[in-house]
Structure 1
Amino acid sequence: MNHYLNEIIMTIKNSKLDKIVLDARINAEKRTMGYREQALKMYPWVCGRCARTFSRENLQLLEVHHKNHNHDYNPTDGSNWELLCTYCHENEHSRVKDSAGRSAAQNPESLATFNPFADLKNILKK
């Protein structure tokens, strides 16, 4: 009887594994239909800001930037996309918003002005 139970358990485990593999393949197919894959097929693998070129080995460092910052606006002609390297993409978003989602231009008094080391020399003399 233990042998029979072991066979049932192995069948269930195998069917779970088959489902996981099938789900992974379906998700991969969906991703290839996504805007990143479309943009990578449409544009040369070059950062639109620093002009760094990419190959298959480092392609994960090339990201799709939405020009109007609306990730839901993805026209099939690619007019809202540009390819940027990770560093330029991060720089683009940090220029527009801070970590709380506020624009520095909208709230200039919120910029940091405190200098914790301003009086360090006098403190160390004591």
Structure 2
Amino acid sequence: MEKTNERLDRLVLEARRGAETREQGYRAKALKLFPWVCGRCARTFDHAKLQLLEVHHKNNNHHDNPPDGHNWELLCTYCHENEHSKVKDMEGRSDIGNTVTAATFSPFADLKTMIASKK
């Protein structure tokens, strides 16, 4: 029984240390600084759904974590994904790492000729 209590005490201590370490992270700081509202869609969050609220780095540099949080904004999972999709779209998407060229096909480019040939 003594070993069980020691093991339980050790587990509780490790859990507390882990919580303290996480508290020092930028997400915990952002959640303390800002209201639990998505900065894009204005959806509000409570403790039960807080895992759906994410910290977005405005300058896309995840190492830029100022103590006042001026580089952060809280976004819901959906708006956060959309924000990062916009960045990828601006850069151009590709499976092989090259940028994708813009589409050049214009289905109505020769419309006048097509209409004339039908007459």
The question of a shared fold, defined as TM-score above 0.5 by the shorter chain, is answered with yes
1:22-37 correspondence to structure 2 within 5 Å: 22-37=13-28
**Structure 1 residues without counterparts, runs of 5 or longer:** 1-6, 112-126
Alignment partner of 1:77: what SS?
coil
Q: Which amino acid aligns with 1:76?
A: P
1:80-119 correspondence to structure 2 within 5 Å: 80-97=71-88, 103-104=91-92, 107-109=99-101
Report deviation, 1:14.
Answer: 4.8
1:47-126 correspondence to structure 2 within 5 Å: 47-97=38-88, 103-104=91-92, 107-109=99-101
Identity level (%): 62
Q: Which amino acid aligns with 1:20?
A: L
CA RMSD in angstroms, aligned pairs only? 2.7
Say how many residue pairs are matched.
99
> After superposition, what is the alpha-carbon deviation per residue over 1:89-121, rounded to whole angstroms, capped at 9, x for unaligned?
1111122238xxx9317712399xxxxxxxxxx
- 1: CA distance, partners of 2:20 / 2:102: 45
**Structure 2 residues without counterparts, runs of 5 or longer:** 104-119
